[in-house]
Structure 1
Amino acid sequence: MRPARRLTLTDDVYETVRAQVMDHVVAPGARINIDALARDLQVSPTPVREALARLEADGLVRKRPLVGYTATPLLTRDEFDELVEMRLILETAAARGAAARSATAEPAVLGLLREAADLPGPVPGAQGYASIAAFTAQDARFHNLLAEQSGNRMLHDAVVRLRPHLHLFRLHFPPTHYRTSGAEHHRIVDAVASGDPDRAEAAVREHLLAARQRHLPYFRQG
């Protein structure tokens, strides 16, 4: 039972520290003191180190020689544009592949994609990242599933490793996402199910460019 309890503890620490980074409790660029964090969370340093290693894989923290871990700085406007460009390259290709394979796909596969297209609203009474965590996870699940259905494992891995949702929603969460993203997802599923790669590509491109417009006010304000 000890390994199970340890895994649960590491998961709890990971979720807690991730929320602190997403909510800027740990400020962007700030150094993370492992011992101090362990004391605050009333755990040993070991699960904190394990959680930070996972967060490094997420791109939310960085490990630097002689410095240790720091919270990753927020995306700059140039980095934001580069992220959108990468998504347009990767995810439109994934949509084309998924549409091309839709005729031979199991009905359950499209059902899973359709299910993932639905996005939850804000959690009542929750504040900050806690209110959008479910939305963020479901949004990532949809895009990752779409990439998986392309049949290209390297493409899928590239989409997953990009983890745009964590970086974008740490930056800014436009309220209009709740009203529009799910509808855009369903249009993508309809296009994939039609078996038309051009239509699927266009639907993904429209969604990503619309999401880009929803985030742009953050940079105008900054």
Structure 2
Amino acid sequence: MSSQDTGNGRALPARRPLVDDVYEAVLSLLMDNVIEPGAKASIDGIARTLDVSPTPVREALVRLEAEGMVTKRALRGYVASPMLDEEGLVNLFEMRRLLEPVSARHAASKLTPEVLDELESSTTAMHAAVEASSSAGESFKDYKDFANEDARFHMVIAEHCGNSLLFDAISRLRSHMHLYRLYFRFGIAEETSGEHEAILAALRAGDAERAEQAMLEHIQQSYARLSSTIAGAESNS
């Protein structure tokens, strides 16, 4: 079945799209800054762009509001959330440094073989996504598989750390979506994959101290990569 083309390359297949299809399409518009930070995310406008009815767009925006990608403002409707600035990045990583190494330490003694296999599957999928993206571009569709696996790896650890409040706190950060919206370059993927492997090795060994340290080092390296990018962007602006 052919696609209905709206002339902008964003059309969905010519069928009644699932809500998840529309969600992914709207997320791509936000991640690629087609809908720029601070701009109105018009339900009717997005529906025309995607050639769908407004109902699944409205449902997608409700979901994206819960994830912090849009906000709903009086008299304006939905607006794309601002990008992280240097202060926002510092605050986010301060929280990650406080929460995620602790979750890794607790998880080291609690992970079942099945959960460890799931983390192994995630690292394998990340490597496959790196290889697939090496010849691709830098739009969200080119790296979303890697971004999804990155988020999956961290959330599986947090989910099985044995502390539901800690898991909730990490979940509420929604850090991965905001970070990948901010920046993605080839090279980060390879580095991140290697750091995940070090965390997984410590978890497989049941070494709580090493798992905590590996997670801390991963978060510190992630911050260093992203903070240098923000500094460069601000100096060139």
Q: TM-score, normalised by structure 1?
A: 0.90
Bigger drift between 155-164 and 72-81 goes to 155-164
Which runs of 5 or more structure 2 residues have no equivalent in the other structure? 1-14
Which residue of structure 2 lines up, in the alignment, with residue 106 of structure 1?
Answer: 112
1:196, distance to aligned residue in structure 2 (A): 2.3
Give identity over the alignment, percent: 43
Which residue of structure 1 lines up, in the alignment, with residue 23 of structure 2?
Answer: 14
Instruction: Name the CA shift for 1:43/1:172 in 2 (closer, same or farther; >3 Å).
Output: same
Match of 2:211 among 197, 200, 217: 200
1:12, distance to aligned residue in structure 2 (A): 1.3
Which residue of structure 1 lines up, in the alignment, with residue 147 of structure 2?
Answer: 136
Contact preservation (8 Å) 2:104, 2:212:
yes
How far apart in 2 are the matches of 1:16 and 1:192?
36
Q: TM-score, normalised by structure 2?
A: 0.85
Match of 1:165 among 151, 173, 176: 176
Which residue of structure 2 lines up, in the alignment, with residue 68 of structure 1?
Answer: 77
Which residue of structure 2 lines up, in the alignment, with residue 97 of structure 1?
Answer: 106
1:135, distance to aligned residue in structure 2 (A): 0.4
How far apart in 1 are the matches of 2:34 and 2:178?
15
Matches within 5 A, 1:6-85: 8-85=17-94
Once the two structures are superposed, what CA deviation does each residue of 1:26-52 show, in whole Å capped at 9, x if it has no partner? 001101121122122222211111010
Contact preservation (8 Å) 1:61, 1:69:
yes
Once the two structures are superposed, what CA deviation does each residue of 1:60-98 show, in whole Å capped at 9, x if it has no partner? 111111211000000010110111111111111100111
How far apart in 2 are the matches of 1:100 and 1:127?
38
Once the two structures are superposed, what CA deviation does each residue of 1:151-195 show, in whole Å capped at 9, x if it has no partner? 212222222221211101111113222221111111101112222
Query: 1:219 aligned to 2:225?
Result: no
| Corresponding letter in the other structure for 1:9 | L
RMSD: 1.6
How far apart in 1 are the matches of 2:114 and 2:19?
33
Query: 1:182 aligned to 2:193?
Result: yes
